[in-house]
Structures are given as C-alpha cells and as structure tokens.
Amino acid sequence: MIGTDRQAFSQAATDRAELIEQLLAIGTALSSASDLEEILSLILTKSREITCSDAGSVYLIDPRLERPSLLFKVAQNFSKPTVSFQELAMPVTEKSLAGYVAMTGKTLNLPDAYSLPENAPYQLDRSFDQRIAYRTCSILVLPMQNQKGETIGVLQLINRKLAPDLVITVENASAITQPFSDWEERVVRSLASQAAISIERNHLQESIEHLFEGFVRASVQIIETRDPCTSGHSERVAELTVRLAQEVNSVATGALASIHFGDRQIQEIRYAALLHDFGKVGVPEAILAKAKKLYPLQLEVIKGRFALAQRTLEMDCVQAKYQHLLAHSNVLASAADHSEAPCTHCQAIAQLDTRLSAAIAQLNHYWSILLAANEPRIFAEEPLLHLKELTHYQYRDVDGQYRPLLTPEEVEQLMVHRGNLTELERQSIQSHVTHTYEFLKRIPWTQELQNVPMIAYGHHEKLDGSGYPRGLKETDIPIQSQIMAIADIYDALTAGDRPYKSGLPVARVLKILQQEAAHNKLNPELVELFEQRQVFAILERPLKN
C-alpha cells in the first residue's frame, strides 16, 4: 500500500513538473510570437493540450465600434478537422456564454452546456452543433484580462476528453467527456492572463506601427505641399524600391544571391523611400518650384527694364527731333518758300526714326536671346556669345543714371549651361539629403526600423564616389540605398510632372541607367535585375523609344 502511494505521489510530482515545463515553454513561445493570429492559435492549442479539450475558440473584444463587439477570431476542433470557421462579429450581451463572461469578467465552468441552471441569463447556441453534427458537453469559458483587470477577450474550451485521441460524436459525447476540474480552471486562468499580456503587447506593436505609418504619410503630404510639382514621387519611389528589394530576394546566383530582406527590413526600406526627400522642407520653395533659369518675378522685372529702355529710346528720339526743329526753325520757314528743293532737315528727321527702329529691333533681338537663354537646356556657343553682348547693354533709368539691362546675378543664372540651377541653388537642392538625415535621426525608431535614416542618407551616393553629400564609394553605401538610387533616378527621368523638363520614354531611361552602371555610378547587378524583371512596369508607363 505504501509503495502504491509512493508511486502515485511520484507520478503526480512528475505530472506537475511536466506541466510547469509546459507553462514555461508556452510563456516563452508567447513572448516571441509577433503575429496576432499566431498568438491566438498558440493560446488555444496549448490550452487544449493541457486540459485534453476536444475543441475551443478565442474571441477578442473590438472597442472601436460604438457598441463593443466580440470578434470570433480562432476556432479548433479535433473531431471535426475539416470544418472551416469564418471570422465574425457578435454583440456583447449576457445571452451568450462568451458575451456573459466578457461583460461580467466571471468564469463559466459547465459540466453540460445543454443542461444549464434555470435562472442562468446565458444560453448555448445549439445551431452550430446541429450544423456540424456535434455535441457540446463540458465547457470552460474564461475572460482574458490585462494588467488593469480589463477583459480584452474570451477563451472557450469545449469537451474535456478522457483521452487526447478520442473522436467525439453525437452518440458518444456524454460517455467520453468529463467536466473541467478546479485545478484545470486555475491553470487555464493563469494561461489566459499570459495570453492577454501577449495580445496587449501585439496591439501596442500594431498601434506603434499605425502611428509610424500615419507619421510617414503626413510627412509625405508635407513634402508634396512644399513641392507640388513632384507630387506622387515619394510613393512611386517607394513602390519601385520595395519591388526591386523583393526581386533581390528571389535571386539565386551571382553577387545578389547572398542578400535577403525580411518583412521588417522591407518595411524599413519602404519608410526610407517614402521619406527620402523630406529634407526638401528646408529648401526654399522658389528653388524647388523653379521652372527656368530666371524666377518668374525676375523675368517680369527684366521685362520692365526692357520696356523702360525702349520708352527711353523713343523719348530720346522725340527729344532729338524737337531740338533739331527748334534749332532750324528759321531755315525751315525759309525752305517752305522753296518747297520744290530737297528737304535735308526732313532727311535728318527720317534718320532719327531709322536709328530708333534699329535700336528697338536690337532690343527685341536681345529679348528673344534672353528668352531662349532662359530655357533649361544645354546651350550652343553662338547664343551664349549674343548673351554676352547683352551684358554690356546699358539703359538710362528714370533718375537719369545709366544701368546695365541685366544684373551680374541674372547673367550668372542665364549662363548656366545645363539645367536651370546655379551652383549655389544646386547646393541648396542637394542639401535636402543632409536635412533628411538630420530630421530622421531624431526620431526614436524601433529596433527593426533603426536604419531608416542611413538608408535615406545614401540615396544620392554613387559607387565611384562622385555622389553627394558625402562622396561615399560602393563598399560604404548600404545596398538598400543603392536600390533606392535606381528607383529615384528612374522616376525622376520618366515623370512628366517636372516644370523644367518633360518625361523621357522608358526605353531611353533604361539606357541611361545602363550607361550609369557601365560608368560605375549605379550597381550593375541591380540595374540588370530592374530591367530583366521589369520592375518599372508597376508604374504602368509605356515602353517607347
């Protein structure tokens, strides 16, 4: 008898040790799980294993609606493995078992769900059993409560079996099931508390991600408000960058085969791409929206000078005529008696008109040269020579002072050979990369997103060190930045929304990317992958020569 008691005691101790090991393993698994569906499935599976339950389900309370609802999230049934369960929402009321537990925070441990106390406010919905030919007997329904004691979900276990491998039918359900013990109730309640903490942690993680997503979207909107000419550029670059990164994951040979980006890294790349131009908020808006070499207000001021110069020429001509007539009034009166003789004074007046016409024609020619020079394109030498002539032209101002028709600053802007920006303006534009980095590094990114600032910082660097702002070479440029550089250049060249240029055909841009790769500016393997996998096709721009 003593030996039997010792064996029973030893077996009980072993069972409890195994249970402790199970609970520790469950706690470890819950702490490492990050996906909500994974957490809920794990909670239900382990609860069923510990209690030898045939079936079970998990409900979560959705507080976002006007009236809180229970979301039927996960269901498992050993005896009915082929039955599919769909997520649905049900109102939180005391009429259902799960609703009663959610509202009161009390546990229900029912030996037979078909035989409830007469005064019970809740009922079992037998229609589900009837639909799948099942019989619910013993049932344990527990609240999942957070550290504040708030119920965030409900764990429901059905049919505690005599042995794990038994299959329940309508006929044998009563014979092979038993009520849940108080001890099992205590164990599962502890497990439900662990589950609630894991669920709350998951909700907190989702909230942080939604917060970051909202912040990123708001930041992109700010960028586009500052620079409406490039509206949509950040989203397009993000699409291209993410797609190219995903294509890198599928490469099995070559230099890219060893590179793989996880889901979190892809999200990190996406955020960096969306925010890569945020530093433009620190660049003067006039420079961002500059369409030609001169600003619109500058051109209006210069136009006013040309008009004043022409009016001065006309007034000088009129004044010269008047002075001539005044000086030769006697001679003209005498000449009137001999009208048949050639009028030398009339010829002098005509010469003044001719010189005025020539001067105005020259002024109009200079204006045409200026308008041509104002366009953002590479100039031939001849127009530039005419522009240099214009720099020497002076006109008389309203105060009688002679002033140049163009200021040195305006001449510098018009003499730009490529594009529409002066060196100082170009430096201001390029400073947006540093502004972006300085802004992004101040954000307390999560560990999974900590590289966002550095990825965005390198998107204008070139493999040969000719990029900006730091002049990094290939080994120092993050591969994510190299991917983004291709996406950024492609969209900038194909986009038709820039005020200073029209979009280039896709085929032409692909050739430019190939040339950049050949000159060790861009990563050749990434450029080849970009073209071969037609990553650019996600923007739906026609492939034309």
> Would you state the pLDDT for residue 247?
97
Structure tokens at 417: 């050979």
Q: Region 178-194: what's the mean pLDDT? A: 88
Token pair belonging to 194: 């662990």
User: Does residue 409 have a pLDDT over 80?
Assistant: yes
Of 366 and 288, the one with more pLDDT: 366
Distance from C-alpha of 173 to C-alpha of 48, rounded to nearest angstrom: 17
* pLDDT value of residue 477: 97
Highest-confidence range of 195-204, 346-355, 472-481, by mean pLDDT? 472-481
Asked whether the CA dihedral 93, 99, 103, 109 is positive or negative, the reply is positive
Confidence (pLDDT) at 200: 82
Q: Is 532 exposed, middle or buried (0-12, 13-18, 19+ CB in 10 A)?
A: exposed
pLDDT tens digits, 120-176: 999 999 999 999 999 999 999 999 998 888 898 999 999 999 999 999 999 999 999
Q: Could you tell me where the DSSP H helices lie in 289-343? A: 296-327, 329-335
Task: Using alpha carbons, select from 25, 489, 29, 2 the residue that is nearest to residue 276.
Answer: 489
Q: What is the phi/psi pair of residue 132, to 5°?
A: -110, 10
Tokens matching residue 86:
């769909």
Structure token pair of residue 340: 């048949």
Among 296-305, 378-387, 495-504, the range scoring the smallest mean pLDDT is 378-387
55-97 pLDDT per residue, tens: 999 999 887 766 788 988 899 999 999 888 888 888 889 999 9
List residues bridging with 143 in a β-sheet. Answer: 154
User: What pLDDT was estimated at residue 213?
Assistant: 87
pLDDT at 540 over 90: no
Q: What is the pLDDT of residues 412-451, one digit of tens each?
A: 898 888 888 988 988 988 899 999 999 999 998 888 899 9
Q: Which residue has the tokens 């110069």?
A: 309
* Mean pLDDT, residues 15-44 taken together: 66
- Tell me what pLDDT residue 497 has: 58
Which tens digits make up the pLDDT trace of 253-282?
999 999 999 999 999 999 999 999 989 888
**pLDDT value at residue 534:** 94
Which pLDDT does position 268 carry in this prediction? Answer: 95
Q: What is the dihedral of CA 169, 172, 176, 179, to 10 degrees?
A: 80
pLDDT beyond 90 at 298: yes
* Residues across the chain: 545
Distance CA 470, CA 456 (A): 13
pLDDT tens-digit series, residues 330-354? 655 555 555 555 566 677 788 888 8
- Confidence (pLDDT) at 498: 62
Average pLDDT of the segment spanning 305-314: 92
Per-residue pLDDT band for 18 (boundaries 50, 70, 90) equals low
For the beta carbon of residue 182, count every other beta carbon within 10 angstroms. 9
| C-alpha to C-alpha distance for 412 and 373, rounded to whole angstroms | 11
Place of tokens 């986009």: 495
The region of weakest confidence among 21-30, 40-49, 159-168 is: 21-30
For the whole prediction, is pTM greater than 0.85?
no
User: pLDDT category, 232, cuts 50, 70, 90?
Assistant: confident
pLDDT tens readout for residues 493-535: 998 656 666 788 999 999 999 999 999 999 999 999 999 999 9
Q: Calculate helix-pair angle for 263-274, 233-249, nearest 10 degrees.
A: 150
Terminal Cα distance for the chain, rounded: 96
Q: Please provide the average confidence, as pLDDT, over all residues in the chain.
A: 86
> What's residue 120's pLDDT?
92
Closest listed residue to residue 23, CA positions, set 217, 184, 209: 184
Distance of alpha carbon 190 from its chain centroid, rounded?
41
- Give the pLDDT confidence score for residue 367 in this predicted structure: 92
pLDDT at residue 466 above 80?
yes
Give the mean model confidence (pLDDT) for residues 340-369. Answer: 82
pLDDT at position 31 is 59
Sign of CA dihedral 411, 417, 423, 425: positive
* Amino acid 382: pLDDT: 62
> Average pLDDT in the 354-358 region?
90
